[in-house]
Amino acid sequence: MILPTITTITPDWRNKVKEVEELGLKEVNVFLTCLNREKRGELYALLKSAKISKVPFVHIRSDMDPSELDLLVREFKTEVFNTHTQREFPLSFNLEKYKDVIYIENTYKPLDEEEIGQFAGICLDLSHLDNDRRFREDVYEHNIRIIEKYPCGCNHISPQKPFPLLGDKTWGAEPDHPHFMKSLSELDYLKNYPERYFSSHIAIEMENSIKDQMKAIEHIKRILPHVR
């Protein structure tokens, strides 16, 4: 299932929750990327207030302990999680309990086969993959070899940008942020990838409004018949 996402990179995440409530949506994905524990608690309360019944897919942070994942499963029926490689953000707590539903995202460092083997598989960020194809061919070829060997349990989808996404760059606000969609055509790159690269849990990773994300979802469904 492809769903809009409450992202937290920019400060308007509270407005995204309001928008979800106004649209009457009952299921969304959530990326906790930039929220400390206190703000995460606030977000969970807002989700409950907005009568969100399910958050199938959550991007967790390295400072989350098992009890917080317990809460997400209990209160929001979360089914899968993703995290960055521990070479970038080492986990602060032992999440062995959830290792079979935690997937490692392909980010700026090449995928590590040994690390992926310790978890459920790969969270394939297709915009990162495509950016590597265009600007880091060696990393792209390395990652493709590993992607072919391990299950893809969840996906991030962002717009394609005409510049390299470097891990040490400080991005400006919208609309200059690489996760801000300017045109639906920025999603057409997805047609270049095989159906097996798409999982049953797909998150729209955009700083755009939820309404814009819904338009993106409809466009993706039009160009990719296998995505629903």
pLDDT tens digits, one per residue of 94-130: 999 999 999 999 999 999 999 999 999 999 999 999 9
Q: What is the pLDDT of residue 115?
A: 97
Domain 2-223 has CATH 1.10.3210: no
Q: Where are the domains of the chain?
A: 2-223
Dihedral sign (CA 46, 206, 59, 9): negative
Taking 70 as the threshold, does the pLDDT of residue 171 lie above it?
no
- Token output for 105: 């995202």
Taking 90 as the threshold, does the pLDDT of residue 49 lie above it?
yes
Taking 70 as the threshold, does the pLDDT of residue 169 lie above it?
no
Mean pLDDT, the chain, whole residue set: 95
Q: What is the pLDDT of residue 167?
A: 64
pTM over 0.85: yes
Taking 60 as the threshold, does the pLDDT of residue 173 lie above it?
no
Mean pLDDT of 52-57: 98
Taking 90 as the threshold, does the pLDDT of residue 172 lie above it?
no
| Residue 165 binned pLDDT confidence (cut-offs 50, 70, 90) | confident
- Rounded to a whole number, what is the distance in angstroms from the first to the last CA of the chain? 6
